[in-house]
Amino acid sequence: MQSILTLAVDHDTTSDHSTVIITLSLPSALARTIPRRCWPKANWETFNSKIQSPKMDLSQLQGMDDTLRAVTNITRLIHEAVDEAVPVRTTQKTAAPWWNHSLTLAKQSVKRADRQARLHPTDVNLKDSQYKRHKWSILVRNAKTAYRIHQLEATSTRTVWKTIQHHNTHHKPIPPLQGRSDFKGKCELLRNSLFPTVNMEQ
């Protein structure tokens, strides 16, 4: 029982059966992944020095065995030069803080509906795919809104503007106010409108 991480039932499937999804914590042998290189930061002087250092003579090759041996050695040299001269790209994919298990199930449902509509493009499947994608968009929007509200409720007067700025991804300029289009004029009009008493006392 300790190896069971999550247990959920997905009723939104393409058949008349529900899906029981169990996430287990089991040891697994991960396949070897090829590292991604950061080629813009490569040191080509080091690369050339590594390639030219053995000074291999390829002009005296005789027969297929010599050619295959030379190709193997050159390939090994290239890999060694890349390991020494080109750094590995570090990719850190972090999950969105507003993501939850319901969004995971909804995303899986969208993928199944899209695959069904692609394999069997009937009107029913196409409408089902469109409906589930629309439902998915609403769930994502609601999750982001709930997370933003939670952040605003937990913020302080010192960090509230930073929190708002972090969520404000759509930058729209303020239109002209009473004929004033410059920044200073807009600020004066807004200040006079929001704090008329303070301005009168001054």
Domain-embedded: residue 140: yes
Q: Do 103 and 148 lie in a common domain?
A: yes
Average the pLDDT over 60-86 and give the result: 86
Partners of 23 in the β-ladder: 6
Count how many residues are written for the chain: 202
Give the total number of structural domains in the chain: 2
Q: Which of 154, 170, 196 marks a domain boundary?
A: 154
- Write out pLDDT tens, residues 99-112: 888 888 999 999 99
Task: Quote the pLDDT of residue 131.
Answer: 92
Name the residue with higher pLDDT: 8 or 171.
8
Look at residue 31 in the predicted model and tell me its pLDDT.
54
Res. 53 pLDDT band, cuts 50 70 90 = low
Can you give the CATH number for the domain in which 113 is found?
1.20.58
Among the ranges given (51-55, 87-91, 154-158, 160-164), the one the predictor scored with the smallest mean pLDDT: 160-164
CA distances from 70 to 22, 56, 63, 103 (A): 52, 9, 11, 54
- Average pLDDT for the chain: 78
Give the range of the structural domain holding residue 137, as residue numbers without chain letter. 94-154
Confidence of residue 15 (pLDDT cuts 50, 70, 90): low
- Per-residue pLDDT at 145 exceeds 70: yes
Tokens representing 103 are 């969004």
The predicted-structure confidence for 108-126, as pLDDT tens digits, reads as follows 999 999 888 888 888 898 8
Shared-domain flag, residues 80 and 103 = no
In whole angstroms, give the CA distance from residue 202 to residue 199. 5
Domain assignment present for 180: no
| Single residue among 137, 154, 171 that ends a domain in this structure | 154
Q: Which DSSP string corresponds to 45-97?
A: HHHHHHHHTT----TT--HHHHHHHHHHHHHHHHHHHHHHHSPBPP---PPPT
Which of the listed ranges 12-21, 43-52, 164-173 does the model predict with the highest average pLDDT?
43-52
Whether 76 and 101 map to the same domain: the answer is no
Q: Do 119 and 148 have their domain in common?
A: yes
